[in-house]
Structure 1
Amino acid sequence: MIRHILLVQFKASAKTTDIDKVRALFEAMPGKIDGVVSVEWGENDSPEGLNKSYTHAVLMTFSDHDARERYLPHPEHDALKAVFVPLVEDIVVLDYSV
C-alpha cells in the first residue's frame, strides 16, 4: 500500500464553496479510479501552532505502486487538479509505502 499525503495552504481568496467542491472531488476518487482505496480530508485543529499556514490535509491510500501510477495521469485526477490547483497557495506532497 502507498500513502499519499497532501498538506494544503489555500489562497486567502479561496471560497468555502470552492474548497468544499475540491473535498467532494477528492472523496469521490475511490469510486472512480481502480486502486484508490480511501481518501481522508481534514482541517487543521492542532493547538500546537506548528502547521506553518497549512490548513488542510488529504490522506489517500493506494493499493500499490501501480495504482498510484494509474492515478497520476488519470483524467479524473486532471479534472480534480483543474479545480484544485488554482485555489492553492502552497502544498506539500509526501508519499510512503506501508
Structure 2
Amino acid sequence: MNFPLKSIVYALLGMIGLGLMTEAAKARDQKKSGRVLRHVVCFKFKENAKPAQIQRVEREFAALKKKIPQIRAFEMGTNNSPEGLDKGFTHCFVVTFGSEKDREIYLPHPAHKKFVSILKPILEDVFVIDFWAGGD
C-alpha cells in the first residue's frame, strides 16, 4: 500500500481540526452550563506570625487577580464560625477559574510562586479543596 503524501497530510490536518473542535466544544459547554471551578484555600498561621505579615499575605493573594488573567474571581475572609471546628485555620480564600486548564496555568505561574514564597515563612498549615460549582 502506497499512500500519497497529500492524503496523509489531509488526514493529519483533519485529526488536528477534530481535536481542536472537541476542545472548543468542551469549553463552550462549560460556559453554557455556567459551571466554574472553585479553588478553596485555608491557612493556619504560625503563632509567631505578626499581624503585618498576615496582612501582607492577604494583599499579595488578592493582587494575584490582576496578575493572572485566568482568575475570574477572588474572595477572602477570616473564620467566623461559632462551632469551634476550625482546627486553628483562620483565613479562607476562594479563587474562581473557568476551567481546569485555567487552574493549570495559575499553579505554576511566576506571580503565584512569588506569593507562595511570601507566605511560607509564616504558614503553619494549609488546606486546599477544589470543586465544580453552578450549572446543573
TM-score by length of 2: 0.69
Of 115, 129, 132, which residue of structure 2 is paired with 1:80?
115
Aligned to 2:63: 28
Tell me which structure has the larger Cα radius of gyration. 2
> Which of structure 1's runs of 4+ aligned residues deviate more than 2 A?
none
Structure with bigger helix share is 2
Structure with bigger strand share is 1
Q: Secondary structure at the residue paired with 1:51?
A: coil
CA-atom RMSD in angstroms: 0.9
Task: Give me the identity figure in percent.
Answer: 39
User: What are the ranges of 5 or more consecutive residues in structure 2 without an aligned counterpart?
Assistant: 1-35
Aligned to 2:50: 15
Residue 31 of structure 1: CA displacement?
1.0
Query: After alignment, is 45-54 or 71-80 more displaced?
Result: 45-54
User: What are the ranges of 5 or more consecutive residues in structure 1 without an aligned counterpart?
Assistant: none
CA distance in 2, matches of 1:13, 1:36: 31
Q: Secondary structure at the residue paired with 1:38?
A: strand
Equivalent runs, 1:1-98 vs 2, <5 Å: 1-98=36-133
CA distance in 2, matches of 1:63, 1:21: 27
More RCO (CA 8 Å, sep 6+): 1
CA distance in 2, matches of 1:91, 1:21: 17
Q: Secondary structure at the residue paired with 2:69?
A: coil
Aligned to 2:16: none
